[in-house]
A and B are shown apart, each in its own frame.
Chain A
Amino acid sequence: MRVLHVALAALIAATACTAGGKGAGSTAAATPVERARDAARTANAIANRPAAADSILGAAGFTRETYQQLLYDIAADSAMSAEYASIKTR
């Protein structure tokens, strides 16, 4: 029983760590194309709810500055731009 509890705790911790790394701003493990997708989805969300821009950026793991730097990175790369443009709705 005790072993089961320890295993469950380890599983929960592992899941939490994985979820924590999913924020778009946590780009260490994301591929460039995934970063472009995250940025486009974030842009769409802000366009739909501009009044919530700050919280949308924060929930995605960005600051205003890091998001703009990512936009520069994407714009400079043809594959990232193509992916971004295919997802960006308006």
Chain B
Amino acid sequence: MSRRTTTLLLAAALVGWSTPSVAQLPDWVSQLLLAAQLPVATQSARVDGVTGDEIRAVLAAMRDAGRPAYEAVALIDATREVRRDHGPEGNFGAFVQSQLAAGKRGQELAAAIRQEHERQGKGQAKKGESREKSDDKPGNRGRGRPLSR
């Protein structure tokens, strides 16, 4: 009986030892891990047709507002979603800037972007249009245009 208990205890200890204690991470580490998804999110957005200009506009607005990189992940995901569902948005960066200036952050800001697209009743993007404007075209890759400030 005691042998069985010992085995169970050892198994439990092993499971506990091998499982990362993510819940105990400091906030800044969790935020850094989320921020590390930002380039992956923008890459996925480009693949889905979000233009380099749109991405840079969002990132520039977030940077100028002094927002941390992890907050931009949800925003890029929202941009990707509305771009897919409603097509391109003119002067997108200015809209994001105005929402940031109004104090909107994170999910609230992402929701505002979705609402704005719905309000404007944007239609579906024309097929091929997004890729045409994308900076992922071979001739544009690697140019590394800086963020416009």
Contacts and interface: CB of A to CB of B under 8 A. Distances in A.
A53 B43 contact: no
Interface string A28-44: 00001100100110010
Contacts of A78: 43, 46, 52, 134-136, 140-142
A77 B29 CA distance: 24
Interface string B126-149: 000000001110001111111100
Interface residues of B, number: 39
Contacts of A53: 28-29, 32
Contact of A71 (B36, B60, B136, B144): B36
Contact of B55 (A50, A76, A82): A76
A70 to B, nearest CB: 9
Contacts of A40: 39
A84 B42 CA distance: 11
B141 A84 contact: no
The main secondary structure of chain A at its interface with chain B is: helix
B36 A47 contact: yes
Nearest to A68: B69
A46 B36 contact: yes
B55 to A, nearest CB: 7
Given A81-B39, A81-B43, A75 B25 contact: no
A75 B144 contact: no
Q: How large is the interface on A (under 10, 10 to 19, 20 to 34, 35 or more residues)?
A: 20 to 34
B33 A80 contact: no
- Of B20, B40, B72, chain A has the most CB atoms within 10 Å of the CB of B40
A25 to B, nearest CB: 15
Given A64-B28, A77-B144, A78-B46, A71 B35 contact: yes
A51 interface: yes
Nearest to B135: A78
A86 to B, nearest CB: 9
Interface string B54-80: 011001101100001100100010000
B38 interface: yes
Contacts of A39: 36, 39
5 contacts: A32-B142, A46-B32, A46-B33, A76-B145, A81-B43
